[in-house]
Amino acid sequence: MIKTFTYEALPIRVRFGSGAIAEIGAELERLGARRALVLTTPQQAGEGQRIAAMIGGASAGVFSGATMHTPVEVTETALQALSAAAADCVVSLGGGSTTGLGKALALRTGVQQLVIPTTYAGSEMTPILGETQDGRKTTIRSLDVLPEAVIYDVDLTLSLPPGLSATSGMNAIAHAVEALYARDRNPVISLMAEDSIRTLSSALPILVHEPRNMEARSMALYGAWLAGCCLGTVGMALHHKLCHTLGGTFNLPHAETHTIVLPHAVAYNASAAPEAMASITRALGAPDAAQGLFDLVRALGTPRALADLGMPADGIEMAADLAVENPYWNPRPVTRDAIRDLIGRAHAGERPVAASRAEEAA
């Protein structure tokens, strides 16, 4: 029997395919954009210049200062560049850092957004913005930050290094996983989420060894799009709360943090979300959801310990305190001691441990 649910489609246009970037002019024209400022990270400034050249007379230049966790001070600098260029649109080229900056500008000015993802971050499909100020990351959900259009060009992901492909893909899987046990989940999103996990978990091991495999690249980008749809439509839970806390507090790399924490968050919630765990195990082809995710991370050869990302051991207690402040809704109650143990295992790179009945009852 299908339970009562609510499904709301987000108003966003998507172009997907090899060579889709050739349609950038048509997409900007469709938006009515007259001057478009291209946003990138410093590492992708050259690619940004190429996109600006494709835009031609509608280009308002390139701002290449985007950085992870969307620091408010970077947004303020970008606001000055946006104003000086008299731009009415931003073209965000890259991953979550650049997309986040575009959203922050849209929140403050109402500028339109065209996003061109080159990773599997998924934030281009969401009305969610996370910003960092004074070492604290805060998150808002508002249609004011939802991009108007997205171009997924598989060709632009071919240069994504194997390690970043792996962690970016695991970040996308995390979005799909939490959608399966979100408070406002629905059958449509659950179908997307399971297919996303299945597609990404099949493609990522191939990309680690064959980074220019076009079929695997197409599968991974498709899976990431599905994961972004999931993240944008339903709520987040413990995993995202932990990653936002750890990333914002200790300036840890976003995708790598998601990769390490995910198996532990799933183990924490396993007994409280049996239907979600069944979907994950089907998608992975594994007997256990948390262990299957941990084994996938190990097979991809990415870091498995928060210590390897630079998180200090004496930060575990602080992280546990912060994680239980204003917690996101979660299928299993969030308790400080249990969260401290979870973070401790993730810090050490240990296998995830499912909660005992005594811990659940505490």
> Can you list the domains of the chain with their CATH numbers?
13-157 (3.40.50.1970), 162-361 (1.20.1090.10)
Nearest to 17 by CA among 137, 153, 143: 153
Q: Is residue 222's pLDDT more than 80?
A: yes
CA dist., res. 37 & res. 85, Å (int) = 7
Return the pLDDT at 134. Answer: 84
What does the pLDDT average to over 152-181? 96
The number of CA neighbours under 13 Å toward the Cβ of 87 is: 32
Q: Is residue 224's pLDDT more than 90?
A: yes
Query: What pLDDT, in 10s, does the model give residues 56-92?
Result: 999 999 999 999 889 999 999 999 999 999 999 999 9
Mention every residue, 6+ apart, whose C-beta is less than 8 A from residue 143: 10, 11, 127
pLDDT-based confidence at residue 359 (cuts at 50, 70, 90):
low
Q: What percent of the chain has pLDDT over 90?
A: 87
CA dist., res. 57 & res. 210, Å (int) = 38
What does the pLDDT average to over 164-185? 96
Return the pLDDT at 270. Answer: 97
Q: What is the dihedral of CA 177, 40, 101, 218, to 10 degrees?
A: -20
Nearest to 184 by CA among 329, 9, 1, 289: 329
- Beta bridge partners, 70, equal none
Q: Provide the angle, in degrees to the nearest 10, between the axes of the packed helices 238-250 and 162-180.
A: 140
- Residue written as token pair 């995710």: 293
Return the pLDDT at 348. Answer: 98
Specify whether the CB–CB gap between 194 and 282 falls below 8 A. yes
Nearest to 219 by CA among 164, 297, 303, 157: 157
pLDDT-based confidence at residue 358 (cuts at 50, 70, 90):
very low
Q: Is residue 178's pLDDT more than 90?
A: yes
Specify whether the CB–CB gap between 110 and 50 falls below 8 A. no
- Write the single-letter amino acid at 210: E
Q: Which two tokens stand for residue 300?
A: 């991809």
**Could you give phi then psi for residue 113, rounded to 5 degrees?**
-125, 130
Return the pLDDT at 171. Answer: 95
Return the pLDDT at 155. Answer: 97
User: In the β-sheet with 149-153, what is the strand arrangement from edge to edge?
Assistant: 13-17, 149-153, 112-117, 89-94, 36-39, 59-63
Q: Which of 23-27, 116-120, 257-261, 354-358 has the lowest mean pLDDT?
A: 354-358
What does the pLDDT average to over 174-186? 96
Specify whether the CB–CB gap between 96 and 145 falls below 8 A. no
Return the pLDDT at 327. Answer: 86
Question: What does each C-alpha distance from 273 to 21, 77, 277 come to in angstroms?
Answer: 40, 44, 6
Calculate the average pLDDT of the chain: 94
Nearest to 274 by CA among 289, 259, 264, 260: 289
Return the pLDDT at 326. Answer: 83
Q: Is residue 243's pLDDT more than 70?
A: yes
Region of 86 please: left (phi>0), alpha (psi -120 to 50) or beta. left
Q: Which of 4-8, 59-63, 142-146, 269-273 has the lowest mean pLDDT?
A: 4-8
Q: Is residue 189's pLDDT more than 90?
A: yes
CA dist., res. 123 & res. 129, Å (int) = 8
Query: What pLDDT, in 10s, does the model give residues 122-145?
Result: 899 999 999 989 878 888 999 999
pLDDT-based confidence at residue 51 (cuts at 50, 70, 90):
very high
